[in-house]
Homo-oligomer: A and B are copies of this chain.
Amino acid sequence: LTEDALIAQIAGKLRDVAPNNVLLGIGDDAAAWQPSRSNRSVVTTDALIEDVHFRRDLMSAEDVGHRALAANLSDLAAMGARPVLATIALGFPRGTDPAWVLAMYDGMAALARRARCAIAGGDLTRAPVVTIAITAIGEVRPSNLKRRDGARPGDVVAVTGPLGASAAGLTVLRDHPELADETAFAGAIAAFRRPQPRLREARMLAGSRNVHAMMDLSDGLSTDLARMCAASATGARIEQIPVDERARGIAERIGEDAAAWALGGGEDFELLLAVDKRAFRHLAVRFRAHTGRELLRVGSFVAGAGVRDADGASISATGWDHLR
């Protein structure tokens, strides 16, 4: 299979994932689109490397494609933006079944279609392991752009959902494969394999001036909250760790610590927020009405630096460091 032949097959799969503002898609030196006049553009990039971020024996090709795009869409969500298009640089070893590659694009295209995100270009190459670098571009109204450096002492630390399910799902698949078929564990395994970027939740929250800072939880609450604190020059106190019930059930069964997963497990892709204290209850009510999900209070931003627990003890960043 030549490069040009494979590109033609991939382009065929992605043809219908092309909103009107994309003027030129796959097949030229670059893709072209018409940015909306009143918005700002945002761009994010994220790579998935086989045996670093995923194992082909634990996930289907479709899962891998979904997950690679989900990570990027989650970053757009965290800025308050809606997706416009993405480009995919894919490397894979000689001998990779082209059917695997095409199925990977199927998983990506299904999510792209739901998110109304065109896949407008890419690059194919040989690489020693499967290597997927995605760049996603989105748009946001200037007043809705949410950064991570706006948290203020007194703000509520909140998340858009309970944490730890992705880490629980990974742990079952990797360390207890004999349990992977139990129906009680299917939710956590799906959370690991098919994380859902919180695009709709993010756009609702981005419209509120009372959300002072927003980022996505890709590397674990303890690490990402420390990053928001550092960017905002504040400290934070965690009063309750929002542990996912599915993670708790798995932890009890296999003798692990679900709170550690919630603090240190990456890739839950919930959003982390700094919310004005007086507005939190009202925002949580509106959030429930709009999304059917709960806005969970985790603690408070405080003067100072670093992340502490309710007793004032320092919580170290146990989340994912990509170079560790």
Contact = CB atoms under 8 A, between A and B. Distances in A.
B124 A323 contact: yes
Given A46-B89, A85-B43, A148 B28 contact: yes
Given A43-B121, A121-B45, A129-B128, A29 B215 contact: yes
Contacts of A31: 42-44
B27 A133 contact: no
6 contacts: A29-B148, A30-B79, A43-B120, A45-B133, A49-B126, A87-B135
B47 A123 contact: yes
Contacts of A88: 45
A103 to B, nearest CB: 17
B323 A53 contact: no
Interface residues of A, number: 67
Nearest to A72: B30
Interface stretch (A1-9, A188-196, A236-244): A1-9
Nearest to A71: B123
Given A23-B40, A47-B123, A124-B323, 12 more contacts: A29-B148, A30-B44, A31-B44, A32-B40, A43-B87, A46-B123, A47-B89, A47-B91, A49-B91, A52-B127, A124-B322, A125-B323
A24 B213 CA distance: 14
A3 B91 contact: no
Interface string A37-71: 10011111111010111000000000000000000
A133 B2 contact: no
Contacts of A89: 45-47, 89, 133, 135
Given A35-B35, A128-B128, A75 B216 contact: no
A138 interface: yes
A47 B33 CA distance: 22
Interface of A: 1-4, 6, 23-24, 27-35, 37, 40-47, 49, 51-53, 75-76, 78-79, 81, 85, 87-89, 91, 120-129, 131, 133, 135, 137-138, 140, 145, 147-149, 215-216, 227, 231, 321-324
Nearest to A84: B41
A120 B6 CA distance: 31
A2 B128 contact: no
B78 A29 contact: yes
Nearest to A78: B29
Contacts of A120: 43
Nearest to A213: B28
A135 B123 CA distance: 10
B121 A44 contact: yes
A115 to B, nearest CB: 15
Contact of A131 (B32, B122, B131, B140): B131
A30 B128 contact: no
Contact of A122 (B35, B42, B45, B81): B45
A124 B44 CA distance: 13
Closest 5 CB pairs of A and B: A133-B133, A30-B44, A135-B135, A35-B35, A29-B78
